[in-house]
C-alpha cells in the first residue's frame, strides 16, 4: 500500500512541475530562447529508450532563458533521482526563475515556440 501511495505522490509532484500553466490545450505558450533550444537539441543526442532523462527550464517573464538537464548514462537509474537533480540544478540559478520540466526524455510536455521562429 505504501509503495502505491509513494508512486502516486511522486507522479502528482512530477505532474505539478511539468509545465503547469504551459501545458495542455488551454495552456499558454512558453517562449524558448535560442540558447535554451540549442541546449535541448544537445540533450536529445544523449538520451535514448534506455538512457532516459529530464530537461528542465528556468522561466522568467514567460521566457525560458535557463536550462538544466540530467540523464541516465546507464540502465539502472531511478526517474525520481534525476528529476530531482535537474530541478535542483535549475533552482540553483536563483529565485528569479520558475523551474519546470520541459521534456521527459524526448517528450516535450509544454506548449512552446522558439524565440524568433
Question: What is the secondary structure of the chain as a DSSP string?
Answer: -HHHHHHHHHHHHHHHHTTGGGSSTTSPPEEE-HHHHHHHHHHHTT--SSS-EEEEEEEETTEEEEEEEEE-SSS---HHHHHHHHHHHHHTT-TTSEEEEEEETTEE-S-EEETT-
Q: Categorize the per-residue pLDDT at 68 as very low, low, confident or very high, splitting at 50, 70 and 90.
A: very high
Instruction: Using the predicted structure, report yes or no on whether residue 26 has a pLDDT greater than 50.
Output: yes
Into how many domains does the chain fold? 1
Domain range enclosing 7: 2-114
- Could you read off the pLDDT of 33-60 as tens digits, one per residue? 999 999 999 999 988 777 788 999 999 9
pTM for the full predicted model: 0.77
Amino acid at each position: 500500500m505504501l509503495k502505491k501511495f509513494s508512486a502516486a505522490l511522486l507522479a502528482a509532484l512530477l505532474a505539478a512541475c511539468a509545465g503547469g500553466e504551459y501545458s495542455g490545450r488551454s495552456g499558454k505558450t512558453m517562449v524558448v530562447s535560442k540558447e535554451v533550444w540549442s541546449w535541448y537539441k544537445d540533450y536529445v543526442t544523449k538520451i535514448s529508450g534506455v538512457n532516459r532523462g529530464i530537461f528542465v527550464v528556468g522561466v522568467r517573464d514567460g521566457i525560458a532563458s535557463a536550462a538544466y538537464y540530467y540523464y541516465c548514462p546507464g540502465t539502472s537509474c531511478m526517474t525520481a533521482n534525476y528529476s530531482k537533480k535537474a530541478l535542483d540544478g535549475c533552482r540553483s540559478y536563483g529565485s528569479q526563475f520558475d523551474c519546470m520540466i520541459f521534456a521527459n526524455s524526448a517528450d516535450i510536455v509544454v506548449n512552446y515556440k522558439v524565440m524568433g521562429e
